[in-house]
């Protein structure tokens, strides 16, 4: 099991979602295709990171076992007022996460823009350039309370997670990485998937319309879908 350094938590895992089925309709138009990156303001960045085609919000319910010790997990990262865990009358708890397709150029550009807005200084032309295409697909799961994954191991997460596309079927992750705070609290999970077959063929063809992310290695089963045709930037498909 590999733990990511704090930089991953600060730059890449601002990403989250959770529970049985959640597919949120997201508008195909927004600042990602209406404004230059250099003009994105804080509201634009927030929308891209929380309400865009590259993001899915997921809420899932799990029932605490009688022999579980009291929750002493991390307090979690701030998520714009969303509650991560809500007690239910039947003893079940609801966890909330965001699932983000963080290998996309759009999300990486939004994160860079967010950092630039928080630390104003001399304009850096390179900061508005389109990020390069990554060799792997990367999907991040993050939330203010990640205790449902406290006992998860990389092997279990990897064996019970996959992307599913109609033309190719299941795509298994090649690696799962854990992002932890300096105090060891789990802040997010990063799932890495191959982008191409051994023969160099794309695993998610451009004609596919939907990709499912399915993960059941923790105490909450996550199942969300992404609309591929909406995940586009000025350079084309953006996964």
Domain ranges of the chain: 2-63+75-237
Stated as kind and residue range, the H or E segment containing 157 is helix 154-159
What is the signed CA dihedral for 126, 128, 129, 132, rounded to 10 degrees?
A: 100
Cα(153)–Cα(157) distance, rounded to whole angstroms?
A: 6
Cα(229)–Cα(233) distance, rounded to whole angstroms?
A: 11
> How would you classify the pairing of strands 175-180 and 2-4?
parallel
Each of the 239 residues of the chain gets a pLDDT tens digit; together they read: 455 544 444 334 333 333 223 333 445 689 998 999 999 999 999 999 999 999 999 987 654 433 333 333 333 333 323 333 333 344 456 778 999 999 999 999 999 999 999 887 665 555 556 788 899 999 999 988 888 898 889 999 999 999 999 888 999 999 999 998 888 889 899 999 999 998 999 999 888 899 999 999 888 889 999 999 999 998 899 99
Computed over its alpha carbons, how large is the radius of gyration of the chain?
A: 18
For the entire predicted model, the pTM comes to: 0.75
The widest CA-to-CA distance across the chain, in whole angstroms, is 57
Cα(69)–Cα(79) distance, rounded to whole angstroms?
A: 26
């Amino acid at each position: 099991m590999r733990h990511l350094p704090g930089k991953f938590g600060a730059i890449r895992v601002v990403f989250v979602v959770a529970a049985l089925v959640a597919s949120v309709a997201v508008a195909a138009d927004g600042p990602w295709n209406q404004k230059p990156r250099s003009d994105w303001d804080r509201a634009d960045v927030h929308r891209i990171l929380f309400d865009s085609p590259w993001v899915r919000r997921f809420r899932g319910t799990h029932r605490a076992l009688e022999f579980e010790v009291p929750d002493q997990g991390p307090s979690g990262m701030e998520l714009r007022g969303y509650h991560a865990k809500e007690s239910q009358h039947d003893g079940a708890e609801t966890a909330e996460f965001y699932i983000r397709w963080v290998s996309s150029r759009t999300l990486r550009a939004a994160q860079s823009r967010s950092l630039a807005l928080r630390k104003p200084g001399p304009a850096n032309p390179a900061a508005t350039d389109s990020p390069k295409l990554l060799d792997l697909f990367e999907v991040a799961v993050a939330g203010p309370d990640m205790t449902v994954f406290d006992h998860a191991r990389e092997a279990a997460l990897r064996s019970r997670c996959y992307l599913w596309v109609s033309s190719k079927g299941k795509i298994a992750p090649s690696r799962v990485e854990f992002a932890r705070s300096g105090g060891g609290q789990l802040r997010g999970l990063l799932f890495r998937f191959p982008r191409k077959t051994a023969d160099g063929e794309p695993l998610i063809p451009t004609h596919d319309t939907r990709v499912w992310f399915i993960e059941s290695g923790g105490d909450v089963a996550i199942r969300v879908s992404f609309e591929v045709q909406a995940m586009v930037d000025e350079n084309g498909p953006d996964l």
